[in-house]
Structure 1
Amino acid sequence: MNAVIKQPAPRPDAQIALPTDVPTDLLGPEAQAFLVDLHAAFEGERQVRLRARQHRQRGFDAGDVPDFRADTRSIRESAWRVASLPAALRDRRVEITGPVDPKMVINALNSGANCYMADFEDSTSPTWDNLLTGQRALRDAIKGTLEFTAPAGKRYALKPEGQRAVLIVRPRGWHLDEKHVRIDDAPMSGALFDAGLFAFHNAHALVAKDRGPYFYLPKLESMEEAQLWEDALSHIERSLGLPAGQIKVTVLIETLPAVFEMDEILYALRRRIVGLNCGRWDYIFSYIKTFRRHRDRVLPERGQVTMTQPFLKAYSELLIQTCHRRGAHAMGGMAAQIPIAGDAAANDAAMARVRADKLREVTAGHDGTWVAHPALIPLAKQIFDERMRGPHQHAMTRDDVLVDRDDLIAPSIGTITRAGFDGNVEVCVRYIAAWLDGNGCVPIHHMMEDAATAEIARAQLWQWIHYADDGHAPLHLDDGTAIDTALLDRVLLCLPSKLAGQDIPGAARVHEAIAMLESLTLRDTLEDFLTLPAYARLD
């Protein structure tokens, strides 16, 4: 494509501040001007949307519950469909996700998955070096020149282009700042930095290959937040001289408020949206956060909060019905298991759980699924190949699904075991320590933990302990032990010796992570995201 890039002129009154020694290949004057223009156009509305989130949460804390909107009933009840899907995204039966370091980028693109979701959000610790390394790795991968040599000497190189997964980039959510880029002394939106810089450097190369740009949009809570993305992406298209609607997106339905606005989100992005995804881990976290003050909706330990729980089954089936009615993909959720070497029985049991989960998804009507480890791709692909003969299942309209508000917020049944409580503490500490050390995707007990899974554990600890606020009796473990600050203190006190001698990411920051988790758990209000206070500690 030979269209001329329409570079925005730098605003004469705008002051952009960057770290010293900024690489000019990524952040030269034209790129800086492009980012300044994005910030000027959309930062005000971003702040309006973030304040709206806080206002709505205050209502939930006072006893409100989410519901379908009366003012958008006509959108839900009228007949319309999203734009036709691009050829490269018609078949997405298996997608792999992971961070954006060069080794991961090469392995994911070579993995045999249909798509690779390159993640600047939940599986990337946003150090300045990680962000720039990731942007450069994706740019070089699109050029076909990306290579990586491990310290031990093993060389990694890309397969021929026709054998690579289709690239989809997940920028950070609207709530996250990029503190290293300050414009008029305010931090830039992490979402606009990630998406804008990627599009600036790669949009025309991707158009020439008929490969996008494609994005996964995370943590939306409303139609208005989707409209903000629509406006920002349209602005990027105009600035770069791209056809309207060239940028395609998939939206993760991973917040409880968003499940009540799926039609509206599809409608706001109807020129460019390809599908919705069941972001199950963040969705469970959002359920806890939304109902943090609702004592009748406390969840059991996270291992018991599976997709067979009524509120999660209702969520996934409504998503399938909604997407297929509108001509969009309904993507399934993540299998976070990783192979267990040296224990065949345990590995077989883990793979059986993956198999059952993927069978549930394809039988329900999902058009594809996620895995976190390349070894799971053949298993997931086999299940979808056997039961999804075409590129998708849009013809499965799921007219049998009748879901109302109460189905989507139904309480769960289960228990809290000592192992479940201790496991939440260990996962939080180990993940926070690794994240502070620059690693956002960590294998713990044969599960790939990222910010979403750690957030479930962290939010549960807060809610369980604060259940006794206002004079209520505390919750108890299934062995009768009270869940209180004394129990948390005992587990935290024993954790360093338990982890001593283990080769774990971020081992040097375990004590810092323990202090941070204790502070987050004991404070009066649940912090919206653990990555917000943790980000202040990153370089």
Structure 2
Amino acid sequence: MDGVSILGPVNRDYATILTPGAVAFVAHLARTYTPRLEELLARRKSIQAYYDEGAKPQFLPETRHVREGNWKVAPLPHDLQDRRVEITGPVDRKMVINALNSGASVYMADFEDSSAPAWSVNLDGQVNLRDAIRGSISFEDPKSGKRYSLNPKLATLVVRPRGWHLPEKHMLVDGKPVPAPLFDFGLYFFNNARELLNRGSGPYFYLPKMQSHLEARLWNDVFVDAQRQLGIPRGTIKATVLIETLPAAFEMDEILYELRDHSSGLNCGRWDYIFSFIKTLRADPAAVMPDRGCVTMEQHCMRSYSLMLIRTCHRRGVHAMGGMAAQIPVKNNPAINEAAMAKVKADKLREVRDGHDGTWVAHPALVTIAKQIFDEHMPQANQIDKLRLDVNVTASDLLQVPRGPRTEACLRNNIVVGVQYLEAWLGGLGCVPLYNLMEDAATAEICRTQVWQWIHHRAPLDNGRVISKQDFAGMMREELAKVRDEVGAQRFASGHFAEAAKLFERFSTADELADFLTLPAYEYLVQPAQQGQARL
């Protein structure tokens, strides 16, 4: 195909996804929308420079008419009316089956933060979702011999493509990498949209990491074009936007408005939101965060953001989704497990009482717990009629810096968790259980930005100690030795720990805070066919 290169290997299964029609469709999206995307990514940098000079995010005066207007989003299809529990996770074959069978209302199949974007992971995921939609998916565990297949009753499938900032370097159009979200969306939509409609559902999506309503407008234009190309009625696509950046919190109404024909609501993406809070206000020494474990939804800025999201969505007639419970069951320790499950219950109870229409869990065992709480307090399909007119959130509410201690224990935990997550990510795993929590890429981003912020601003710990780059390097050596003892010398030597530690230290101590750790780390996963090995 003229101007199109596929640099990753294509086996028999991948060829059924990368058909000439599908590749041409993705190429069309890339040629049409990459120039606008490049302008929007440049706009991100110019706005961040404005913040670095001392400005703060604000509600836009030029879109006041949108915020004050009396409009609503288009009605939702039947299988997105009740979303009380959504399970999220990567797109490997076993996970796809277990998540669809989990009893959750929705399975958010994730090509983004819980998947490492290796070529094989992305294409295997497309194959797995294609098979799941057609009911032909099965899996036999090579270790246990256990066979997995679909139950009669399944969760509604929603897909999260990668964010606007990420490229797919294994597919070039006119010599340039295809934007990763257009690659993920384009292949899934082309191969499955009509089949989903024939089966009584539709092409539903979660959209991550947007920073403005202009980026939502770009997605909406992609949707309109994609539906026209395939002869599918406008408004068939439905997309929930994760409000997981601080700038986007100031444009909730505007984002819904841009997607009003295609919107299925907003979601509190709390972990990336914390990362974005640090990154957006990185130049402000008064915005230094406490221990990341202290930044809970009870902090004023986090609670304000959650309540404002509920009021905004319900005013527009659409779902306000709660955040992730990252806890996982703790085996062989009933006391710790009970404490973890108590945290899940308290979090979900807060959400449903506040007015959220559903929530996220990371593990199938938590579906029942979350569902019981929502069933008790929300017996109807949703509570969009709970308008929360008592909520009035100001810019200062959203910008209030969380309070709490800064401890050496947290600093060391950031090292241990950040390095171990990155090690798994470099090996192709994006969803990793660590110390009784299910971690994804947002974890590593919070860990390294918090370390950077404390070192850069010379923020004293609660014991008065100021951590220098040299102090941090010493802590890295000490914590890596502990990790080696924990995982074993052979596993440590054969894994990606050296590369992960190098990356984590490099980006935690850099003079300038990098926008995303996953961009440079992605180079480890790029394996063009002509080279045959990862490169950095």
For Structure 1 versus Structure 2, the TM-score category normalised by the shorter chain is: over 0.9
| Range that drifts further, 187-196 or 407-416 | 407-416
Contact 2:289 2:403 in 1 (8 A): yes
1:215 to 205, 212, 217: 205
Structure 2 Cα separation of the partners of residues 223 and 233 of structure 1:
15
Change (3 A) 1:226 1:350: same
Work out the CA distance in 1 between the residues paired with 2:486 and 2:201: 43
Partner of 1:16: 5
For each residue in 1:117-144, what CA deviation from the matched residue of structure 2 results, as whole angstroms up to 9, or x when unmatched?
Answer: 0000000001101011000000000011
Q: Does residue 231 of the first structure (1) align with residue 236 of the second (2)?
A: no
Partner of 1:531: 518
Instruction: Determine whether 1:370 maps to 2:354.
Output: no
Alignment map for 1:398-409 (pairs within 5 Å) = 398-409=388-399
Secondary structure of 1:439's partner? coil
Deviation at 1:235, TM superposition (A): 1.1
| 1:335 aligned onto 2:322 | no
Moved more, 31-40 or 106-115: 31-40
How many Å separate the matches in 2 of 1:388 and 1:300?
34
CA distance in 1, matches of 2:380, 2:497: 48
Tell me the secondary structure at the aligned position of residue 76 of structure 1.
helix
**TM-score, normalising length from structure 1?**
0.95
| Structure-to-structure mapping, 1:461-480, within 5 angstroms | 461-467=451-457, 474-480=458-464
Which region of structure 1 is more displaced relative to structure 2, 494-503 or 130-139?
494-503
Q: Deviations over 1:408-455 (max 9, x none)?
A: 101221111222111111111001111111010111100011001221
In the TM superposition, residue 488 of structure 1 has moved relative to its aligned partner by 1.2
Structure 1 unaligned blocks of 5 or more: 1-9, 468-473
1:501 Cα deviation (Å)? 4.6
Task: Point out where structure 2 has 5 or more consecutive residues left out of the alignment.
Answer: 528-536
Tell me by how many angstroms 1:358 deviates.
Answer: 0.6
The residue identity in structure 2 corresponding to 1:271 is D
1:40 and 2:40 correspond: no
Alignment of 1:436-447 (within 5 A): 436-447=426-437
Pick aligned residue for 2:373 from 372, 383, 400: 383
For residues 173-196 of structure 1, the C-alpha deviation after alignment (integer angstroms, 9 at most, x for no partner) is 000000000111100010000011
Structure 2 distance, partners of 1:266, 1:110, is 31
**Matched-pair contact (CA < 8 Å) for 2:52–2:284:** yes
Aligned residue for 1:500, secondary structure, equals: helix
* Deviation (angstroms), 1:361: 0.4
- Where do 1:117-156 residues align within 5 Å? 117-156=108-147
**d(CA) in 1 for partners of 2:413, 2:325:** 19
Q: Which amino acid aligns with 1:25?
A: T
Check if 1:510 corresponds to 2:494: no
Of the structure 1 ranges 492-501 and 42-51, higher mean CA displacement relative to structure 2 is found in 492-501
The structural deviation recorded for 1:366 is 0.3
The equivalences for 1:70-149 within 5 A come to 70-149=61-140
How high is the TM-score relative to the length of structure 2?
Answer: 0.95
2:99–2:155 contact (8 Å) kept in structure 1: yes
CA distance in 2, matches of 1:503, 1:237: 49
Partner SS, residue 21 of structure 1: coil
**Is structure 2 residue 36 aligned with structure 1 residue 49?**
no
**Aligned to 2:496, what secondary structure does the other structure show?**
helix
Amino acid at match of 2:465: T
Query: In 2, distance between residues paired with 1:475 and 1:21?
Result: 50
| Aligned pairs for 1:336-351 within 5 A | 336-351=326-341
**In the aligned structure 1, how far is the partner of 2:56 from the partner of 2:463?**
32
3-state SS of 1:385 partner: helix
The alpha carbon displacement at 1:379 in A equals: 0.7
**Residue 289 in 1 paired to residue 276 in 2?**
no
**Alpha-carbon RMSD:** 1.3
Q: Distance in 1 between matches of 2:144 and 2:134?
A: 24
Name 1:5's counterpart in structure 2.
none
Residue 272 (structure 1) aligns with: 262
| SS at structure 2 position matched to 1:414 | coil
Distance (Å, rounded) in 2 between the aligned partners of 1:113 and 1:74: 38
Q: Is the 8 A contact 1:230 1:268 kept in 2?
A: yes
Aligned 1:303-322 pairs, distance under 5 A: 303-322=293-312
> What's the CA shift for 1:156?
3.6
User: Does structure 2 conserve the Cα–Cα contact (< 8 Å) formed by 1:496 and 1:511?
Assistant: no
Residues 147 and 155 in structure 1, CA contact (< 8 A), matched pair in contact too: no
Counterpart residue identity of residue 206, structure 2 = Y
Whether 2:180 is the aligned partner of 1:190: answer yes
CA distance in 2, matches of 1:229, 1:261: 15
Equivalent of 2:383 in 393, 400, 421:
393
Residue 503 (structure 1) shift: 4.3
In 2, Cα distance between the equivalents of 1:423 and 1:496?
Answer: 11
* SS of aligned partner of 2:88: strand
Which AA in structure 1 matches 2:470? A
One-letter amino acid of the structure 2 residue matched with residue 273 of structure 1? S
Give the partner amino acid of 2:300.
P
Aligned ranges 1:242-281 → 2 under 5 Å: 242-281=232-271
